Amino acid sequence: MRNTIITLISIAILTALAVYIVLPVPHPAWLVRSDAAGNPTPLELKLGLDLQGGTQVMLEADLPEGRELQPGAMETAKLIVERRVNSLGVSEAVVQSQGDNRITAELPGVSDPDRAIETIRSTGQLEFVNPEGLPLQQGMVINTTNRPNAVQEYLSLPDADPSKVPYGDRTFTTVMTGDVLRTAIARQDQFGMWEIAFELTGPGGDQFFNYTSAHIGQPMAIVLDGVVLSSPVIQAAIRDQGVITGQFTEAEANSLAIQMRYGALPVPLKVVDVRSISATLGQDSVQRSLTAGLIGMAAVFLFMVLMYRVPGLLANVALTIYIFFNLAIYKLVPVTLTLAGITGFLLSVGMAVDANILIFERLREELRSGRSPRLAVEAGFSRAWPAIFDSNLTTLISCAVLYIFGNQFGASIVKGYALTLGLGVIISMFTAFFITRSFMRALLGMRNQRAKTAQLIVGY
Residue predicted with more confidence, 227 or 260: 227
Most confident of 18-22, 99-103, 342-346: 18-22
Q: What is the pLDDT of residue 447?
A: 53
Per-residue pLDDT averaged across 237-263, rounded?
Answer: 79
Report the SS3 class of residue 254: helix
The pTM assigned to this predicted structure is 0.63
How confident is the model at residue 317, as a pLDDT? 93
Q: What percent of the chain is modeled with pLDDT above 90?
A: 12
Q: Where are the domains of the chain?
A: 2-34+278-459, 123-251
What are the phi and psi torsion angles at 94 (to 5°)?
Answer: -125, 120
SS3 assignment, position 244: strand
Residue 411 neighbours by CB distance under 10 Å? 19
Pairing relation of β-strands 126-130 and 171-177? antiparallel
Q: What is the pLDDT of residue 250?
A: 85
**Cβ atoms of 327 and 347 closer than 8 Å:** no
Measured over the CA atoms of residue 154, residue 156, residue 159 and residue 161, the dihedral's sign is: positive
Residue partners of 169: CB distance under 8 A and separation at least 6: none
Using the CB atoms, write b or e for 46-84: b if 16+ within 10 Å: bbbbbbbbbbbbbbbbeeeeeeeeeeebbeebbebbbbb
**CB–CB of 125/264 below 8 Å?**
yes
- For the stretch 372-400, pLDDT in tens is 777 888 888 888 889 889 989 999 999 99
Closest C-alpha to 336, from 131, 54, 130, 101: 54
- DSSP, residue by residue, 56-77: EEEEEE-PPTTPPPPTTHHHHH
CA distance linking residue 359 with residue 182, whole number of Å? 60
Asked whether the predicted pLDDT for residue 123 surpasses 80, the reply is no
213: three-class secondary structure by DSSP:
helix
Least confident range from 117-126, 221-230, 245-254, 375-384: namely 117-126
CA distance 351 to 392: 8
> pLDDT band at 460, cuts 50/70/90?
very low
In CATH, which of 3.30.1490.20, 3.30.70.120, 3.30.1360.200, 1.20.140.10 is domain 123-251? 3.30.1360.200
Distances, alpha carbon 35 to alpha carbons 15, 25, 186, 287, 330, in Å? 28, 19, 17, 28, 17
**Largest CA-CA distance found in the chain, in angstroms, rounded:** 102
Query: pLDDT confidence of 370, banded at 50, 70, 90?
Result: confident
Judged against a pLDDT cut of 60, whether residue 86 lies above it is answered with yes
pLDDT tens string 187-218: 988 888 898 888 888 877 888 888 889 988 88
Q: Mean pLDDT over residues 8-36, rounded?
A: 84
Contact 74, 50 (CB under 8 A): no
pLDDT of residue 452: 56
List of residues 6+ apart from 20 with CB closer than 8 A = 27
* Stretch 245-266: mean pLDDT: 77
CATH of 2-34+278-459, one of 3.30.565.10, 2.40.30.40, 3.40.50.10470, 1.20.1640.10: 1.20.1640.10
pLDDT value for 1? 66
Give phi and psi for 69, each to the nearest 5: -75, 125
What is the sign of the dihedral through the CA atoms of 26, 323, 438 and 422? Answer: negative
In which band, very low, low, confident or very high, does the pLDDT at 341 lie, cut at 50, 70 and 90? confident
Instruction: Supply the pLDDT for residue 321.
Output: 94
Are the beta carbons of 123 and 260 closer than 8 angstroms? no
Which phi and psi angles does 269 have, rounded to 5°?
Answer: -120, 145
Mean pLDDT across the chain, nearest whole number? 82
Q: Which of 225-229, 244-248, 326-330 has the highest mean pLDDT?
A: 326-330
Mean pLDDT (whole number) for 253-257 = 80
More confident residue, 89 or 272: 272
CA dist., res. 318 & res. 213, Å (int): 72
pLDDT bucket at 177, cuts 50 / 70 / 90:
confident
Q: Is 255's pLDDT higher than 80?
A: no
Q: What pLDDT, on a 0 to 100 scale, did the predictor assign at position 320?
A: 93
Q: Which range among 8-17, 75-84, 127-136 has the greatest average pLDDT?
A: 8-17
Q: What string of DSSP letters covers 357-395?
A: HHHHHHHHHHHHTT--HHHHHHHHHHHHHHHHHHHHHHH
Residue 37 has pLDDT above 50, yes or no: no
Q: Is the dihedral of CA 117, 223, 231, 210 positive or negative?
A: positive
CA atoms within 13 A on the CB side of 407: 9
279-332 vs 2-22: helix crossing angle, rounded to 10: 140
Q: How many CB atoms lie within 10 A of CB 390?
A: 10
Cis omega (within 30 of 0) for bond into 334: yes
Q: How far is CA 271 from CA 23, 56, 118, 294, in A?
A: 40, 11, 9, 41
